[in-house]
Amino acid sequence: NAGVTQTPKFRILKIGQSMTLQCTQDMNHNYMYWYRQDPGMGLKLIYYSVGAGITDKGEVPNGYNVSRSTTEDFPLRLELAAPSQTSVYFCASSYRGQHEQFFGPGTRLTVL
Amino acid sequence: AQKVTQAQTEISVVEKEDVTLDCVYETRDTTYYLFWYKQPPSGELVFLIRRNSFDEQNEISGRYSWNFQKSTSSFNFTITASQVVDSAVYFCALSEAEDSNYQLIWGAGTKLIIKP
């Protein structure tokens, strides 16, 4: 099992550009989450999904969108990148009934 | 309201010393889960342990041990004979059984520096 994989590992965007951060898990987990971690800070939940076709907002959803068409994939879309979105983005997943979350390696995004 | 407090922002010790990271939580739920995660300088987040609210037994795994005390709402993490490789940011987190979305409430993290 590869676990949770994220691509790309690094990305630099210009203000106003768009991009999609990819997240895939091969553990057949129902629940998936997107977090951001600003330098020296903790984790903030952006969006989460409890299954294919079901998504909901977390603590900091503004400027982002998600979709969940399959159990395995949970992409995060940034439509109009802003410097405030410079952060490390983590995707995580968990299995129904198991509250612990397993994390991908993260995507380091810089918006200039 | 749910909350996790890690009051120690940064701890620095010399290798081989024992060190305890504090975690205090707040919840109204009677069934909940507590977690510790490690984030080494390489950046990944590594799951260390889950403890259920109905199991107050302390846990030991090698040099790591966890002390769960419901009476003080604490779930502290002790590293015995610390090593340089233990240097990382450690996060404590809480999940409530009544939350069907299984969201984690995170502490702010404690940065642990082990000096050789």
At B46-69, the pLDDT tens digits run 999 999 999 888 888 999 999 999
- Identity of the residue in A31, A48, A99 whose CB atom sits nearest the CB atom of B50: A99
Q: What is the pLDDT of residue A1?
A: 75
Burial track B59-88 (b if 16+ CB lie within 10 A, e otherwise): eeeeebbbbbeeeebbbbbbbeebeeebbb
Q: For residue A67, what are its two tokens? A: 């979709």
Report CB contact under 8 Å: A94, B108.
no
Cα–Cα distance, A23 to A20 (Å, whole number): 10
Task: Please give the interface size between A and B, counted as residue pairs whose CB atoms are below 8 Å apart.
Answer: 47
Best mutation target, B45, B46, B50, B105, to test chain A (most A CBs within 10 A): B45
At B73-116, the pLDDT tens digits run 999 999 999 999 999 999 999 998 877 778 899 999 999 999 99
Cα–Cα distance, B76 to B21 (Å, whole number): 6
Report CB contact under 8 Å: A99, B33.
yes
Report CB contact under 8 Å: B44, A48.
no
Q: How far is CA B80 from CA A68, B13, B35, B51, B83, in A?
A: 43, 12, 19, 20, 9
Q: Which residues of chain A have pLDDT under 70?
A: none
Report CB contact under 8 Å: B91, A42.
yes
Residues of A in contact with B35 (CB under 8 A): 99-100
